[in-house]
Amino acid sequence: MLGRLACFLGIGTGWFLEMKKEYIKDILKRKNKDVVLYGWIKSKRVSKEIVFLDVVDSSGQMQAVVDKKNVSSWNLANQIAPESSVLIKGVLKRGKNNLEVGVKTIQLVGDAKLNLSPRPRQDFDIFGSSYADYVLKNRHLFLRNPKLQAVLKFKHKFLINLHKWFTEREFLFLDAPVLTELLLYDDDSAFKLDYSDKISGKQEVFLSQCNTFQLEAAIHSFEKVYNMTPSFRAEHSKSSRHLREYWHLKVEIAWANLDDLIKIAGEMLYAVAKNTVEECGNELEVLGVKVDLDKLKPPYKQITYDEALKIIHSKGNKMKWGKSFGVEEEMILTKEFGENFLFIRGIPCSAEGFPFSRDKSNIKITRTCDLIAPEGFGELLGTAEKITDKKELLERMKEKGKTTPEQMKRYQWYVDLRDYGIIPHGGIGMGIERVVRYLLKIPHVRDTISFPRLYGRYPNP
Amino acid sequence: MLGRLACFLGIGTGWFLEMKKEYIKDILKRKNKDVVLYGWIKSKRVSKEIVFLDVVDSSGQMQAVVDKKNVSSWNLANQIAPESSVLIKGVLKRGKNNLEVGVKTIQLVGDAKLNLSPRPRQDFDIFGSSYADYVLKNRHLFLRNPKLQAVLKFKHKFLINLHKWFTEREFLFLDAPVLTELLLYDDDSAFKLDYSDKISGKQEVFLSQCNTFQLEAAIHSFEKVYNMTPSFRAEHSKSSRHLREYWHLKVEIAWANLDDLIKIAGEMLYAVAKNTVEECGNELEVLGVKVDLDKLKPPYKQITYDEALKIIHSKGNKMKWGKSFGVEEEMILTKEFGENFLFIRGIPCSAEGFPFSRDKSNIKITRTCDLIAPEGFGELLGTAEKITDKKELLERMKEKGKTTPEQMKRYQWYVDLRDYGIIPHGGIGMGIERVVRYLLKIPHVRDTISFPRLYGRYPNP
């Protein structure tokens, strides 16, 4: 759009200026001083004598005012396309409402030649489904949107606060692998790799669905371990809460039973959400969201799977015993229990992964408890005691169809852990994006991750 | 080994005791009190009247003393296999050298039925090549080894200190994906996925070699971003410093040039290493390692690639201009410069990824600088200015053979960033395991990760 000026600063010939030292939020704290401002043009207004530029950077926004007497700068400001990057030098002064910068010189750094409408930094309903295709296709540009920016800043703080919470309690962050032979669910529901090795040949390699296997091995050394990395699900499901690649918190604790895990999960979720909400006032304001921390306070109500099913049946739903609750069933339950979190305990073996212990008083159900968020946001985390008895583990593997010699070989080392000083233990698994989505009330989970990989969408950066 | 006692505590019937509250290091801080001790038998000595058990947990080791008068406990202690897990109740008392626990009752929690020699917690040269096959095959058990434990604890602190360093400086942790269409190097050097989608069909999906692409998109919103996740290399190379899956720090900074990046990289590496070393006195003691922080202090010596090549040639090595330095060449250089870090600047275009800027004064070399550690530990990190000019980018892609319409389509959005307010920017990439290996002087990089995936080894958990 501004081709003839595009090389004004000499971009493409090396960056020879000083690195950016001050951000807009720093500049706005000072007064009456020379300003060096690097940023992007969000929008502009042109009057006869003056061009008003709204300049943004990662920290904020301020107005730059270009007077017609300043001929060359005025000409550039008059023609510049929104989203172009600029270097402005000028003087800080008090404007009508806020501090603004009176422009002495303006240099074009990078021209915006693409024509997008709406533009990333414009105010529009970026979470609305009518813009979904457009925004996903241009995700690399729409990261600049203030709302998406606020979500990702919040998520960053949430991740860091998780690290803090676990590290302060002497959990070890285990560097568990993405590439694995061990799957929590069926081989068909995992992404398989084209993995070859000239020396050892073809190998069965998948992308991790859950790193419980590696974490369970590690507790015999570290007792309390956690991991946060991407996990992968190859299911063919199109929903507002499924990503094919998502950030997965996994925790494994030695000498802990189901009640211990439920308590720890609640305390962790509340503390980390509280710290993040308190640190992210600006981001919540941008998103127009208020988080009621009182509703997040544990302990959360607990009912059994059987009790939950009774409620669901009483509303006319005919779900069969043994299945997982879907969106419809969870909606019924959360309507019943209002705006509160709900723990559902004792999920049937048929609906849970094979490493989870059976309940000795009813071996058709597991020693598990899943946390359901209100308002249809669905399951946020799950807790489970793990099997310590080798015979039980082999039976559960058989139930889940993990019976071929090849499969047995893949899981052999995990089975062997039971023969080498095994201890009672259990774990917590949490979907980071689901929690962020719930806290910020984002319609679709795709908008809680920078580059979402969704079933049925192409291409995905 | 202790079959008839294996169900003593009732393992496999649910864990009904209280969760572990005190660790050995806590117990050793107290005196004259009742002790409840959960742990593993590291070793035992049996005399006529007494069994001495060395009990360990994640925090330390203490001796438990079982008197023959305590008949049932003595019988169990006499027969128990090392690595079995136990619950001991007793009284803390002063032993010959240290505090020890006089056993009142001992319960077997998990029997050790496997027979390993050497055992994980025994003292042997776990980093020695003669044990490599044995240790890798039993990796799930050898995580219990005190030296491996110390490495992983050090690595955890190192990762957390990286997060702290970047977060304190207002970098955003970007949740960049593992699954991507964009590769830094050739398609052949990446792992390809069997990725299908019933709606949008087959897709070209790889495991990320470097998430510079996504981070570069994000700086137009956040200006300073970083990521730490596993990265993947499918090269068929067997060396002591290559993992097929490794932890990769990536940093991308707006408005920064090569000298800025070199400065930031040095400051970051020194600060994070210093904090980690200071926090990990115990771990360094276990490993018998001293880290000389003075040697790590930036700024580091800088020479050009051409100067480096001159030195290499002067030692009789005939490496051709344009190639990357290998182990042999790096050894020559580090011998020349002693025990100091060395930055090599201006790597030829032929040896670097296509997104890295050419040097305008010599377009055959790039605006990059790589940090080489002494003593053959090789490259730890690299810094690079990125291309802002679209024409230059397309030329570099062509040089690297990224020319088919399919490939052009995959990289299109990355190219388009140049047309939408592009800014000068550059990045840092660092191999976490390589730095940990260097700091702790570990012979092979495989021992700086819990479950290493190595070329030519099978199976890999």
**DSSP secondary structure string for all residues of A289-306:** ----GGGGPSSPEEEEHH
**pLDDT given for residue A11 in this prediction:** 47
CB contact under 8 A, A214 and B417: no
Measured in angstroms, the CA of B322 and the nearest CA of chain A are apart by 22
CB contact under 8 A, B217 and A153: no
| pLDDT single digits (tens) A139-165 | 999 999 999 999 999 999 999 999 999
At A338, the amino acid letter reads G
Distance in angstroms (rounded) separating the CA atoms of residues A182 and A188: 13
Least confident of A29-33, A51-55, A397-401, B456-460: B456-460
pLDDT bucket at B203, cuts 50 / 70 / 90: confident
Distance in angstroms (rounded) separating the CA atoms of residues B242 and B231: 12
Structure tokens at A258: 């189901």
Instruction: From chain B, pick out residues whose CB is under 8 angstroms from the CB of A116.
Output: 420
SS3 A348: strand
Where does residue A441 fall: left (phi above 0), alpha (psi -120 to 50 degrees), or beta otherwise? left
Structure tokens at A61: 């926004």
Distance in angstroms (rounded) separating the CA atoms of residues A369 and A371: 7
* Tokens 């790597």 found at: B347
CB neighbours of residue A222 within 10 Å: 26
Nearest CA in chain B to A235: B197
Report the sign of the C-alpha dihedral through residues A187, A189, A194, A195, in that order.
Answer: negative
Distance in angstroms (rounded) separating the CA atoms of residues A389 and A363: 14
CB contact A236 to B (< 8 Å): yes
Distance of CA B67 to the CA centre of its chain: 45
Do strands A172-173 and A224-232 pair parallel, antiparallel, or not at all (unpaired)? parallel
Distance in angstroms (rounded) separating the CA atoms of residues A380 and A402: 27
**pLDDT given for residue B199 in this prediction:** 85
Going by C-beta distance under 8 Å and a sequence separation of 6 or more, which residues neighbour residue B309? B319, B321
Residues in A 417-456 with any Cβ partner in B closer than 8 A: 417-424, 449-451, 453, 455-456
**pLDDT given for residue A116 in this prediction:** 95
| pLDDT single digits (tens) B348-376 | 999 999 999 999 999 999 999 999 999 88
Nearest to A347 by CA among A315, A329, A324: A324
Average pLDDT across chain A, whole number: 93
CB contact under 8 A, A461 and B181: yes
Residues B145-170 have a mean pLDDT of 98
pLDDT bucket at B387, cuts 50 / 70 / 90: very high
Structure tokens at B214: 């996504």
Task: Please list, residue by residue across B218-229, b when 16 or more beta carbons sit within 10 angstroms of its beta carbon and e when fewer do.
Answer: bbbbbbbbbbbb
Edge to edge, what strands does the sheet with B378-385 contain?
B172-173, B224-232, B245-254, B425-431, B378-385, B368-373, B342-345, B301-304
Residues A359-368 have a mean pLDDT of 97
Instruction: From chain A, pick out residues whose CB is under 8 angstroms from the CB of B144.
Output: 220-221
SS3 A415: helix
What are A172's strand-pairing partners? Answer: A225
Distance in angstroms (rounded) separating the CA atoms of residues B90 and B75: 16
Which among A19, A84, A231 is the top mutation candidate for probing chain B, defined by the most B β-carbons within 10 Å of its own β-carbon?
A19
SS3 A44: strand
Task: Please list, residue by residue across A307-337, b when 16 or more beta carbons sit within 10 angstroms of its beta carbon and e when fewer do.
Answer: ebbebbeeeeeebeeeeebeeebbbbbbeeb
**pLDDT given for residue B175 in this prediction:** 98
CB contact under 8 A, B420 and A182: no
Run of H or E residues at A88: strand A85-94
Distance in angstroms (rounded) separating the CA atoms of residues A101 and A55: 10
CB contact under 8 A, B110 and A224: no
| pLDDT single digits (tens) A424-439 | 999 999 999 999 999 9
Nearest CA in chain B to A85: B421
Sorted by where each starts, the structural domains of chain B and their CATH numbers stand as: 3-110 (2.40.50.140), 135-448 (3.30.930.10)
**pLDDT given for residue A6 in this prediction:** 36
**pLDDT given for residue B11 in this prediction:** 46
CB contact under 8 A, B456 and A180: no
Residues B230-251 have a mean pLDDT of 92
**pLDDT given for residue A13 in this prediction:** 41
Q: Which of A199, A214, A257 sits opposite B15 (nearest CB)?
A: A257
| pLDDT single digits (tens) A375-387 | 889 999 999 999 9
pLDDT bucket at A346, cuts 50 / 70 / 90: very high
Specify the higher pLDDT residue, A339 or B439: B439
Q: What is the 3-state secondary structure (H, E, C) of chain B?
A: CCHHHCCCCCCCCCCCCCCCCCCHHHHCCCCCCEEEEEEEEEEEEECCCEEEEEEEECCEEEEEEEECCCHHHHHHHHHCCCCCEEEEEEEEEECCCCEEEEEEEEEEEECECCCCCCCCCCCCCCCCHHHHHHHHHCHHHHCCCHHHHHHHHHHHHHHHHHHHHHHHCCCEECCCCCEECCCCCCHHHCCEEECCCCCCCCCCCEECCCCHHHHHHHHHHHCEEEEEEEEECCCCCCCCCCCCEEEEEEEEEECCCHHHHHHHHHHHHHHHHHHHHHHCHHHHHHHCCCCCHHHHCCCCEEEEHHHHHHHHHHCCCCCCCCCCCCHHHHHHHHHHCCCCCEEEECCEHHHCCCCECEECCEEEEECEEEEEECCCCEEEEEEEEECCCHHHHHHHHHHCCCCCHHHHHHHHHHHHHHHECCCCEEEEEEEHHHHHHHHHCCCCHHHHCCCCCCCCCCCCC
CB contact under 8 A, A58 and B173: no
Q: Which of B160, B199, B414 sits opposite A167 (nearest CB)?
A: B160
* Tokens 């136990």 found at: B86
CB contact A217 to B (< 8 Å): yes
CB contact B38 to A (< 8 Å): yes
Distance in angstroms (rounded) separating the CA atoms of residues B197 and A161: 35
Cβ pairs A/B, distance under 8 A: 350
What DSSP character marks residue A130? G
Distance in angstroms (rounded) separating the CA atoms of residues B313 and B298: 28
**pLDDT given for residue A10 in this prediction:** 42
Contact A452, A446 (CB under 8 A): yes
Look at residue A250 and tell me whether its pLDDT is greater than 50: yes
* Tokens 């530029």 found at: A53
**pLDDT given for residue B16 in this prediction:** 52
Residues B287-291 have a mean pLDDT of 97
What DSSP character marks residue A420? B
Distance in angstroms (rounded) separating the CA atoms of residues A275 and A293: 10
CB contact A457 to B (< 8 Å): yes
Nearest CA in chain A to B231: A178
Do strands B301-304 and B342-345 pair parallel, antiparallel, or not at all (unpaired)? parallel
Nearest CA in chain B to A228: B229
Distance in angstroms (rounded) separating the CA atoms of residues A275 and A162: 10
SS3 A369: strand
Distance in angstroms (rounded) separating the CA atoms of residues B189 and A37: 42
At B429, the amino acid letter reads G
Distance in angstroms (rounded) separating the CA atoms of residues B248 and A379: 31
**pLDDT given for residue B325 in this prediction:** 94
CB neighbours of residue B321 within 10 Å: 12
pLDDT bucket at B426, cuts 50 / 70 / 90: very high
Look at residue B129 and tell me whether its pLDDT is greater than 70: yes
ipTM of predicted assembly, 2 dp: 0.95
Distance in angstroms (rounded) separating the CA atoms of residues A326 and A139: 30
CB contact A85 to B (< 8 Å): yes
Which among A24, A154, A156, A283 is the top mutation candidate for probing chain B, defined by the most B β-carbons within 10 Å of its own β-carbon?
A156
SS3 A29: coil
**pLDDT given for residue A457 in this prediction:** 81
**pLDDT given for residue A201 in this prediction:** 82
**pLDDT given for residue A459 in this prediction:** 65
Residues in A 137-156 with any Cβ partner in B closer than 8 A: 138-141, 143-145, 148-149, 152-153, 155-156
Which among B423, B435, B436, B449 is the top mutation candidate for probing chain A, defined by the most A β-carbons within 10 Å of its own β-carbon?
B423
Average pLDDT across chain B, whole number: 93
| pLDDT single digits (tens) A12-29 | 444 556 789 899 999 998
CB contact B407 to A (< 8 Å): no
Nearest CA in chain A to B148: A221
| pLDDT single digits (tens) A180-223 | 999 999 999 999 998 888 888 888 899 999 999 999 999 999 99
Look at residue B311 and tell me whether its pLDDT is greater than 80: yes
pLDDT bucket at A392, cuts 50 / 70 / 90: very high
CB neighbours of residue B401 within 10 Å: 11
pLDDT bucket at B12, cuts 50 / 70 / 90: very low
Going by C-beta distance under 8 Å and a sequence separation of 6 or more, which residues neighbour residue A332? A311, A312, A315, A317
CB contact A460 to B (< 8 Å): yes
